[in-house]
Amino acid sequence: MVETALITGATAGLGAEFAEQLAAQGSALVLVARNAERLGEKAAALRSRFGVSVEVLASDLHDDDGVSRVLARLRDDSNPVSILVNNAGYGLPHSFEENPLADELNHAAIHLTVPLALSHAALQGMLARGTGRIVNVASVAGFTPRGSYSALKAAMINFSRWANFTYRKRGVTVMALCPGFVHTEFHQRMGMDKASVPRWMWLDARDVVRAALKDLSTGKAVSIPSRRYKVLAFIARNAPSSLVATLAVRGR
């Protein structure tokens, strides 16, 4: 039976790479993003290259109607989604107190509220069928005190750990993917100077997704791609919190 994967933020970065690698494995796809034109182009390329079925849902996940369309697709038992990748997200350019409140609340929705809503909808069918996988794209930043982005990612890591423990015995794996800096559009969109980050800290999206899918297949609750970030995450989780906070601020 062909599996169907629904991926948010599917036209670029890690979302696009998840689409590529899952299609290469023979999975049918449901691609979700705001830009209908880019969605159509991505879908056509994947159909041509891999010969898989690709649906598109042009939906703005900041909009209630957009979220409702994705929820409805996840609840459609006639063509069930067996893999959910909660990837949509972005960063804010300024410190918490400098960002407009509306921007912070939208940021919180896209990184926490919406993934929780989509996971809740997906779990209904997955648990009934006794099988399914959910990937919540978090960040190694979730192990450090570094603003609202880190706080939101920490919440998704904690949720994923709990959900994996709770639902894995019923056939559903829930995993938080925690990469570090990855060569995608994410940092350009927030106006970050990528040259300010040492070369050794950058990861390739293909390697990140390859490691994530491997960890997902073994039922891991948390995936931290690359040995260097595993070490950094270990330090962040075990060093004195004051030291971690100081280093995180210096690394901004």
Distance CA 31, CA 59 (A): 10
Q: Give me the DSSP letters along 14-53.
A: HHHHHHHHHHHTT-EEEEEES-HHHHHHHHHHHHHHH---
- The candidate with the shortest Cα–Cα distance to 158, out of 231, 240, 237, is 237
Structure tokens at 69: 């369309």
CA–CA dist 92, 103 (Å, integer): 8
Residue in 90, 149, 167, 229 annotated catalytic: 149
Q: Residue-wise over 1-39: b if at least 16 C-beta within 10 A, else e?
A: eebbbbbbbbbbbbbbbbbbbbbeeebbbbbbbbeeebb
Tell me if residue 90 is catalytic.
Answer: no
Q: Are 111 and 161 in contact (CB under 8 A)?
A: no
| SS3 label, residue 100 | coil
Amino acid type, 116: L
User: Annotated catalytic sites, by residue?
Assistant: 149
